Amino acid sequence: MPFELPAFALVRAVAPRFDACLREHTEPPIDVEAARLQHAAYVAILRGLGIQIELVEANDAHADGCFVEDTAVVTGARAVLTIPGAPSRRAETREVLPVLARHCQVQVMEGDARLDGGDVLRVNGMLFVGLSSRTNQAGIDLLASVAAEDGLETRTVPLSAGLHLKSVCTFLDPSTVVCAPSLAREAMDILHASGCELLEVPEAPGANVLALGDVILVSIAAPLTVALLRARGKQVVLVDVREMHKADGALTCLSIRIPRPGHWSA
């Protein structure tokens, strides 16, 4: 199945109390207005590439709502609405469901299953899913059963540190995954064994890139990664998501990409 620019991207506006988000470090302070501007610029880049935007309004009860990727995983014609691992984030899915259901057949996660979309890395016909502090095996099993109906194989990737699998590695192109120096050996072995080439990038924020067709979005906080990818002939677009980095977020977490039928998107 061909890899392509997504047809749609579901995004969620930055909440007025974005500064009350979950984060590992309480410093430096978050500038909510700057975050709003950065989010608007991100959405404008997606639009400029020809991606249609589905916007879910912000809800002040959901400080982390703009990290919408964690609430759903699109596997093809199907999608899974998750139960995010962090209790404070569970209600975020409610307002995502009706928008997602316009595009996909949605399976709603139930019971003890937990999963954050930031743990799900798709590479061609494979889903690699981080078994993390946010995602449990029941969540992975539920996702795997839906993904199998869309013809995908799922592999569990145990994570001992870091927030999500895609905090430390992301899809670059159909033969390459970029990864942070901190990616654990076991995770590397699993990716290698499934045929992925790993390209280590020199900066942690450079490990979360967003490949939209041939265009690679890279954080402005990772200039060495930008240079590395450009030297490899990649068409790189810099994006300022520094307020999102303060909230432990990056580029992929700000959208749910929905491919055209018969295609797939990162």
263 catalytic per annotation:
no
Interface of this chain with ligand CIR, residues 224 to 253, rule: CB under 6 A = 247-250, 253
192 catalytic per annotation:
no
The residue within the footprint of ligand CIR, chosen from 23, 78, 90, 155 (CB under 6 A), is 23
By beta-carbon proximity to ligand CIR, the closer residue of 1 and 61 is 61
The residue within the footprint of ligand CIR, chosen from 21, 106, 143, 144 (CB under 6 A), is 21
The residue within the footprint of ligand CIR, chosen from 6, 65, 118, 259 (CB under 6 A), is 118
Of 164, 179, 196, 245, the active-site residue reads: 164
Indicate the pairing of strand 153-158 with strand 72-74: unpaired
Write down the least CB distance from residue 16 to ligand CIR, Å. 16
Interface of this chain with ligand CIR, residues 58 to 87, rule: CB under 6 A = 64, 67, 69-70, 86
92 touches ligand CIR by CB under 6 A: no
Write down the least CB distance from residue 66 to ligand CIR, Å. 9
Residue 41 to residue 2: CA distance in whole angstroms: 28
What is the set of active-site residues? 164, 253
Interacting residue ranges for ligand CIR, rule: CB under 6 A: 21-23, 64, 67, 69-70, 86, 89, 118, 164, 167, 247-250, 253
